[in-house]
């Protein structure tokens, strides 16, 4: 068979779209993106839709990066990240969360926590494997699972349970193809957390059904009233868990794209293989900055956490005062109040809130099952803005009642 006939036998592609791989085509564009366009084209909006800290990265961290650039440290680092940084991460995770990892073999520095999740899924998922995902959840989990060849399986969590993952619900979703539990606590978007007692039965199920837990703990430092517990620190869970975290939220370093993953050496080695071919290494100046954050950033971090906590109390109280039911979020910087009593869908509510009250919140349905009927509000805004937003929301709710 000649090359020429081979080509002509291929189906004709009519538009450029036809060149795009079908898996990519199958993924719907992010619901948040659509909403972003809407907000960006409006004026005088107070946006509670921002999923990042409102602090600029502490000065000393920025300075460390600047100094590294002045010195000309602009080369690659080892694929897994600077050895000093991995050592500092190991020390930090042990001190803060009692998770013990060998910096030489069990830690990889990634381009944000996002890359770490992508790597974990790509390294572990075989076509058709099911990935269990507690919902509402971060918007990237489903698409990344699909791109990795897996099948996302939502596991519902509810406001009555303060959006904790419950063992009955998890167990009911398990099939012979279940391989991974991908969860995020403290949770974006709900602010829910999992305590040691909450995690115990989940760990038992993971062991019983031979699941690997990919635990996105990017908000681990932002808990209020009690310290975060990693599922990796539970008996028998270290080897079964890929702990994903990073610097974005705790140290206000979103734009630096600094994350990491920790786990069994074999799993980390597999992730490293993809990482080294896909991105070589995380940006050097960001790694230097991250190292400085771990060395000198604890005081600033504590100050920022205290500030979130103050605003959290203010905002939750305010939501309840204007009549929106809201479970007590114990982590991250999100409130996830119910808007069901307005009779609107969350999409409709957010759209009207935006145009009529000039406040932007993210409709809950974009975070998957169980998100409908809720809205995500970030309280990482100034006290004045939060107060003004609450006032506008209150008036809006009043006007809804009158109609």
Partner 1 sequence: MNELKVKILELLKEDARLPAERIAVMLDVPEEQVKQAIREMEADKVIVKYATVVNWSRVDEEKVTALIEVQITPERGRGFDAIAERIYLHPEVKSVYLMSGAYDLLVEVEGRNLKEVAAFVSGKLSPIDRVLSTKTHFILKKYKQDGIIFEDRQDDRRMAVTP
What's the sign of the alpha-carbon dihedral 376, 381, 386, 388?
negative
Closest distance between partner 1 and the C-beta of residue 123, in Å? 23
Q: Which of 105, 140, 204, 269 binds partner 1 (CB under 8 A)?
A: 140
Distance CA 368, CA 349 (A): 17
Q: At what angle do helices 59-70 and 284-296 cross, to 10 degrees?
A: 140
Q: Which of 139, 202, 237, 332 binds partner 1 (CB under 8 A)?
A: 139
Q: How many residues bind partner 1 (CB under 8 A)?
A: 28
Residue number with CB closer to partner 1 (57 or 68): 57
CB distance 222 to 246 below 8 Å: no
Closest distance between partner 1 and the C-beta of residue 79, in Å? 28
Residue number with CB closer to partner 1 (52 or 91): 52
Closest distance between partner 1 and the C-beta of residue 157, in Å? 18
Q: Does 322 bind partner 1 (CB under 8 A)?
A: no
Of 282, 235, 264, residue with least CA distance to 85 = 282
Q: What are phi and psi of 135, to 5 degrees?
A: -125, 150
Contacts of 268 (CB under 8 A, 6+ apart): 80, 105, 106, 107, 108, 261, 262
Residue number with CB closer to partner 1 (263 or 368): 368
Instruction: Single out the segment in contact with partner 1 by CB under 8 A; choices: 80-88, 135-143, 164-172, 289-297.
Output: 135-143
Q: Does 314 bind partner 1 (CB under 8 A)?
A: yes
Instruction: Single out the segment in contact with partner 1 by CB under 8 A; choices: 39-47, 117-125, 203-211, 229-237.
Output: 39-47
What are all long-range contacts of 25-32, with beta carbons under 8 Å and residues at least 24 apart? Answer: 26/146, 27/143, 27/146, 27/147, 30/139, 30/366, 31/139, 31/363, 31/365, 31/366, 32/139, 32/362, 32/366
Q: Does 226 bind partner 1 (CB under 8 A)?
A: no
Residues in region 344-363 near partner 1 by CB under 8 A: 360, 362
Q: Does 138 bind partner 1 (CB under 8 A)?
A: yes
Residue spans of beta strands (DSSP E) within 185-235: 212-216
Instruction: Single out the segment in contact with partner 1 by CB under 8 A; choices: 32-40, 59-67, 273-281, 322-330.
Output: 32-40
Q: What are phi and psi of 389, to 5 degrees?
A: -60, -45
Q: What are phi and psi of 359, to 5 degrees?
A: -125, 130
Closest distance between partner 1 and the C-beta of residue 310, in Å? 4
Residue ranges that bind partner 1, judged by CB under 8 A? 30, 32, 35-36, 39-40, 45, 47, 49-52, 54, 56, 138-140, 188, 310-311, 313-314, 317, 360, 362, 383-384, 387
């Amino acid at each position: 068979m000649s090359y020429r006939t081979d080509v002509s036998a291929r189906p004709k592609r009519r538009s450029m779209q036809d060149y795009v791989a079908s898996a990519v085509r199958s993924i719907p564009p992010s619901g948040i993106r659509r909403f972003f366009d809407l907000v960006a084209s409006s004026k005088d909006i107070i946006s509670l839709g921002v999923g990042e800290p409102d602090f600029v990265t502490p000065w000393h961290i920025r300075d460390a990066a600047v100094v590294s650039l002045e010195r000309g440290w602009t080369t690659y680092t080892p694929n897994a990240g600077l050895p000093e940084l991995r050592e500092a991460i190991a020390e930090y995770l042990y001190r803060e969360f009692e998770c013990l990892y060998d910096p030489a073999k069990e830690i990889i520095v990634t381009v944000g926590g996002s890359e770490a999740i992508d790597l974990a899924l790509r390294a572990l998922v075989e076509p058709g494997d099911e990935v269990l995902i507690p919902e509402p959840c971060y918007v990237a989990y489903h698409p990344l699972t699909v791109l990795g060849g897996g099948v996302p399986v939502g596991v519902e969590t509810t406001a009555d349970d303060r959006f904790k993952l419950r063992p009955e619900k998890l167990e009911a979703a398990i099939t012979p193809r279940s391989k991974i539990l991908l969860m995020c606590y403290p949770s974006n978007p709900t602010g829910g957390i999992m305590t040691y007692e909450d995690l115990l039965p989940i760990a038992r199920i993971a062991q019983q059904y031979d699941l690997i837990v990919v635990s996105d703990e990017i908000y681990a430092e932002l808990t209020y009233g009690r310290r975060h517990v990693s599922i990796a620190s539970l008996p028998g869970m270290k080897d079964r868990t890929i702990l994903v975290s990073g610097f974005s939220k705790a140290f206000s370093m979103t734009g630096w794209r600094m994350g990491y993953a920790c786990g069994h050496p074999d799993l980390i080695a597999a992730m490293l293989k993809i990482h080294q071919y896909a991105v070589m290494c995380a940006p050097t100046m960001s790694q230097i900055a991250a190292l400085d954050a771990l060395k000198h950033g604890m005081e600033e971090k504590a100050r920022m956490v205290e500030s979130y906590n103050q605003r959290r109390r203010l905002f939750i109280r305010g939501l309840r005062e204007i009549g929106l039911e809201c479970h007590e979020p114990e982590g991250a910087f999100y409130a996830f109040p119910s808007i069901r009593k307005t009779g609107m869908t969350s999409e409709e509510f957010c759209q009207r809130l935006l145009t009529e009250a000039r406040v932007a919140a993210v409709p809950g349905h974009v975070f998957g099952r169980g998100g409908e009927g809720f809205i995500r509000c970030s309280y990482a805004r100034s006290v004045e803005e939060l107060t003004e937003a609450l006032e506008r929301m209150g008036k809006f709710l009043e006007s809804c009642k009158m109609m």
